[in-house]
Amino acid sequence: MIYKILSTSPSFGYYVFEPLEYLKQHDCEWDLFPQGRTITQEELVDRIREYDAIVVGMEKITEAVLNAAIRLKIIAKHGAGVDNIDMEAATRKGVPVVSAPGANSDAVADLTFGLFLSLARSIPLADHSVKEGKWPRMVGIQVNGKVLGIIGLGQIGKKVAQRAAGFDMKILACDLVKDQSFARRWGVTYLPLEEVLAQADFLSIHIPLGPSSRRLIGEKELRLMKEGSFLVNISRGSIVDEDALYLALKERWIRGAALDVFAQEPPVDHPLLKLDNLISTPHMGGYTYEALRETGMICVQAIVDILNARRPKNVINPDVWRP
């Protein structure tokens, strides 16, 4: 029997090909949605009927989509966060949802530190100035010895902390779950959010988006930060109140910010993009060849497991197996 797989992720199957070869070896065919175009809910509802599995990116998998999925046996998130998937509807439908937690943690941590350095030394502005024929004297700050605040010390947050240790940074963290063993080993101090905000020279966000984290960083929180501090959000755009961040940057409550994520992507004509103390990147935190290979293989291995009546790893809604 040949199984049909749909991918709506803009990166699955386009940069590394081992996951597609794995599907081919296990009697699966695939359709990759074209890059550069977002699939609409209407298209998804219409197309999902003929597929046994779907690999998804950031598009919403709603109850309407799931109701139309008469053959669907698994949803594989090509990444870690599943806030775009209606988990309750998937569970009612009996469709397991899997993700790839930690597969891109090194890639995201690398970019996080790249953004720290870019902010501290104004690297994008310096590059742009030289290419315009200018030769400015640009004075920045050093990263080493500064205070790093991490919101969310999960797999990615821990990778960031490990890199920060190499820069002799003082590391503060805020998290509901406290890994004291890791904290002792890497010199991390857990503090309440308000204290992390008040002390951090660099603030880095690494938490999933949910009801409690939506607009977690708003005007009140931004006003608690140091005037010379920097904010980096590489998690989900809606965790930061973008209107409040715009004011904070324009009025210099904080020195600068870097965003790899926005509430609406792409952020067309967003006022934040007009600010010279903001660095923006196109949600590329997990985009390395190594991370894409690992993430893709986790997805396809889970798909093949389900198609062969085996329970896959990394199931987000384990209630689908309960009697």
Q: How far is CA 92 from CA 95, 237, 319, 322, in A?
A: 8, 29, 9, 12
Cα separation, 128 vs 243, in Å, equals 26
Label the pairing between strands 3-7 and 230-233. unpaired
pLDDT band at 229 (very low <50, low <70, confident <90, very high): very high
Based on the fold, state whether residues 165 and 267 are members of the same structural domain. yes
Task: Tell me the β-bridge partners of 278.
Answer: 257
Based on the fold, state whether residues 70 and 201 are members of the same structural domain. no
CATH number at residue 68: 3.40.50.720
Cα separation, 284 vs 294, in Å, equals 16
Domain housing 67: 3-102+288-321
Residues identified as active-site: 236, 265, 283
pLDDT in tens, 118-155: 999 999 999 999 999 999 999 999 999 999 999 999 99
Based on the fold, state whether residues 15 and 85 are members of the same structural domain. yes
Based on the fold, state whether residues 128 and 251 are members of the same structural domain. yes
Q: Which of 171, 207, 214 is nearest to 189 (CA)?
A: 171
pLDDT in tens, 12-30: 999 999 999 999 999 999 9
pLDDT for the residue 39: 87
User: pTM for the full model?
Assistant: 0.89
H helix or E strand, kind and range, residue 148: strand 147-151
Based on the fold, state whether residues 258 and 298 are members of the same structural domain. no
pLDDT for the residue 169: 98
Q: Is the pLDDT of residue 323 over 80?
A: no
Please count the structural domains in the chain: 2
Based on the fold, state whether residues 173 and 246 are members of the same structural domain. yes
Based on the fold, state whether residues 300 and 208 are members of the same structural domain. no
Sheet of strand 74-77: strand arrangement: 28-32, 3-7, 53-56, 74-77, 97-98
Based on the fold, state whether residues 109 and 221 are members of the same structural domain. yes
